[in-house]
Structure 1
Amino acid sequence: MTDSPATNIPGPDDAGLTEKPKSDHPSGKQSYGKLMQVVRGFAFIVYFATCILTIFTTQVIGLPLYVVNRDWYYAYMAMTKQHFAIVTSFMTYIWGPTKIRISGDATVAGQMRAMPGGRVEFDFPERVILVANHQIYTDWLYLWWVAYANRPRLHGHIYIILKASLRYIPFIGWGMMLYSFIFMTRKMATDQPRMAYRLWKLRQPKTSPSGKTYYDPMWLMLFPEGTNLCANGRTKSESWAKKNDIRDPEHLLLPRGTGMYFCLSELKGTVEYVYDCTIAYEGIPRGEYGEQLFGLSSTYFQGLPPKSVNLYWRRFKVSDIPLATQAEFDIWLREEWYNKDALLEEYTTTGRFPPLQDGPTQFIETEVRTKYPWEIVNIFTVLGIVGLVTNSLKKLWAARSAAPLAS
């Protein structure tokens, strides 16, 4: 995040659409030829466009629930959010397969388990603030998959802070609005009231039939750096460090704590933990940037995904984080970012994060995929039901209309 709470959304260069040409790509694979890239790209676009239009249409069908019952409405939209996670997980498994290597420190011991069939299961809480460094445009995709692989599954309860202009993207932006994502302009006078309202909704208590108070599940995803690691961001981070007489990390951008501080202050008392993920992509040479090597085009069209995506997890109790003043919090966040930088230095030097503190293996290795390959069919369920009902009503109407003529 930047000084305003908004998360930057990269432009074409940041999205990795202009990858640096490499004869020896760190994916360890040869790029597909031009013809195959066109075929893969066409198949990907057809798949993704079909799925997005299906999900958005499903959302539109559920809009009347907003005036019928708000709880039903939000549960319905959470279902469509699950559908999007399934779409991105399935497309990564087919077009951009990669190994996911997972470890963490003692604070997350016992919360990540290898499962039969090569899957992994996380046991993170239902309400967390999830923060991570921002390496490439698709970092969020892997983190959303973690919510899918959690027990219980929480991929329908992800909330992301986005640049306000993204809401105007046809279908995708409109769908994100219906997901209750938080859109920011990066002008605090405008953003703070809007963000306060959204966070207020996320901290509203519910009452069960038995009279017990509870809060809805929520994974609020934040990237405190504000943008992915790139040459332009690196220059700005160095300038900021020099201006404020602080150390600039080598493998990260300096975090801007205003947005995260605001979120923690607003949600304090309703969320117990911050889960921090340090992400590293195998094969990025020291001093270079992942967005140059693992962009959308190289990963999904050229068939050059990273050999491995490495996730190192830590957990912090919100009650242990200094929130008395913004200045105290900024110092805490910066120190934790230096710790993340040390983790990335270890990864850059050795090719591995520190191993797990428990379990039979040092690292859990898996891949981004759905538990069952046919789960992708779920996104068409509502449209299928609506189609069947509509067709049945048409036949019934036709039969009733024809009855007088027959008599």
Structure 2
Amino acid sequence: MTGWNRVLKFWVIFVIATLNINLVQIFSSPFKLISKSIYTSIIDYSKASFSKFLVILLNLQGNGSVVRVYNPVTVQPQSVIFSNHQLYTDWIYIWTLLYKLESNADHLIIILKHSLKHIPILGWGMQFFNFIFLRRSWAVDNKTLSNQLHQISANSNPYTLLLFPEGTTISNDSRPKSNNFTKKIGVEDFHHLLYPRVTGLLHSLRSLSHNPNLQVIDSTLAYPDIPPGVYGQDWYTLKNTFLRRISPDIIHLHMSSWKLCDIPIHSDDLFTSWLLQRWHEKEQRLRVFQESHTLDPSGKYQDIPLNLTHPLAHTLDAFIYFVPIILVYVLCRLVI
């Protein structure tokens, strides 16, 4: 397929799927006043539909990928995942993995930068998904995060909160900032990671601490075939991934899991030490990966292909097939 054909196909399927999802979300809005449970169910359905659409997109526009999971854990109904951040597609791979694991893909909440909130179509959908958008100013973000986490913790509904403590991907811009910060506080910076921001993760865990058995998962992501001296975000760009078929064949992901009650969230200093220990472990895994292309020298892993588990049914779900049918019916009724 030529480049322009691939671009056209991408935009056609992207606009159709996301617009249908947006329409369902918009039409569900009155239920927010009538029945919160019905409204939530519709939004969860739209969220599950989008996770299936992401799988389709990865296979149609990308190479199709496999997630190689080291030390796989069962994702619990209420959980928090924190991860290192290398690519703009990190969240896509984690979300589609949750779909394949049948683990909260319809209940995922992602903490993202505020600029993504107003992207046409996609940003609108993310707002309906109840994603959390932060401005990277704690004076402002504290209230935003507290309010939305309070809504999450106000009931026993399932959820998986995903956040990236580094705050951004590693790049020519973020690398010097991390170096300058570590010099300022008198510690050594990481080579394969950015120095993590503690405040957002700690505040999130404290806000959700009504459940002492809340599962906290540490995800370490690594990608193969990135040329030496090139940052991952500059190689596996969104354009390369979806329009040029330059995407990782295998996404390497290591998982570690704790109960919240075993993490020292009561003390800022102890939690900072705990998180930095996780970052040193990540650094070691990524160093090993660079040398041997594995996140676990023991060689134990599970390969999970990112494809649809029920191709026909989930393709129909991904494009929310009944929306155009309803629209055509309504138009016909108006015309005839």
After superposition, the C-alpha distances for 1:117-146 in whole angstroms (9 at most, x for unaligned) are: xxxxxx310111001100111000000012
Shift of 1:366: 3.0
Pick from 90, 99, 108 the counterpart of residue 66 of structure 2.
99
**3-state secondary structure, aligned to 2:105:** coil
Shift of 1:49: 1.3
Q: Check conservation: 1:103, 1:311, Cα contact below 8 A.
A: yes
Indicate the residue corresponding to 2:97 in structure 1: 146
Indicate the residue corresponding to 2:304 in structure 1: 366
Pick from 228, 231, 238 the counterpart of residue 289 of structure 1.
231
Indicate the residue corresponding to 2:154 in structure 1: 204
1:385 and 1:307, CA in 2 relative to 1: closer, same or farther beyond 3 A? closer
What amino acid maps onto 2:166 in structure 1? Answer: E
Structure 2 residue 19 is matched with structure 1 residue 53: yes
Counting matched residue pairs gives 332
What residue ranges of structure 2 are gaps of 5+ in the alignment?
Answer: none
Indicate the residue corresponding to 2:315 in structure 1: 376
What residue ranges of structure 1 are gaps of 5+ in the alignment?
Answer: 1-34, 112-122, 206-214, 399-407
How many angstroms apart in 2 are the aligned matches of 1:387 and 1:41?
Answer: 27
Which shifted more, 380-389 or 155-164? 380-389
Shift of 1:393: 5.9
After superposition, the C-alpha distances for 1:189-218 in whole angstroms (9 at most, x for unaligned) are: 22212211111111113xxxxxxxxx1110
Pick from 298, 314, 317 the counterpart of residue 240 of structure 2.
298
Indicate the residue corresponding to 2:5 in structure 1: 39
Of structures 1 and 2, the larger Rg is shown by 1
Q: Check conservation: 1:229, 1:289, Cα contact below 8 A.
A: yes
Q: Check conservation: 1:322, 1:329, Cα contact below 8 A.
A: yes
Structure 2 residue 75 is matched with structure 1 residue 124: yes
Spell out structure 1 runs of 4+ moving beyond 6 A.
none
Shift of 1:299: 1.6
Shift of 1:99: 2.9
Pick from 85, 90, 107 the counterpart of residue 134 of structure 1.
85
Indicate the residue corresponding to 1:223 in structure 2: 164
Percent of counterpart pairs with the same letter?
Answer: 28
How many angstroms apart in 2 are the aligned matches of 1:150 and 1:387?
Answer: 34
Pick from 150, 175, 179 the counterpart of residue 238 of structure 1.
179
Residues 233-382 of structure 1 mapped to structure 2, 5 A cutoff = 233-270=174-211, 272-354=214-296, 362-374=300-312, 375-378=314-317, 379-382=319-322
Indicate the residue corresponding to 1:26 in structure 2: none
- RMSD in angstroms over aligned alpha carbons? 2.0
How many angstroms apart in 2 are the aligned matches of 1:40 and 1:129?
Answer: 36
Shift of 1:388: 6.8
Q: Normalising by structure 1, report the TM-score.
A: 0.77
How many angstroms apart in 2 are the aligned matches of 1:370 and 1:245?
Answer: 48
What amino acid maps onto 2:290 in structure 1? Answer: T
1:75 and 1:355, CA in 2 relative to 1: closer, same or farther beyond 3 A? farther
How many angstroms apart in 2 are the aligned matches of 1:272 and 1:339?
Answer: 22
Q: Normalising by structure 2, report the TM-score.
A: 0.93
Shift of 1:389: 5.9
Indicate the residue corresponding to 2:141 in structure 1: 191
**3-state secondary structure, aligned to 1:314:** strand
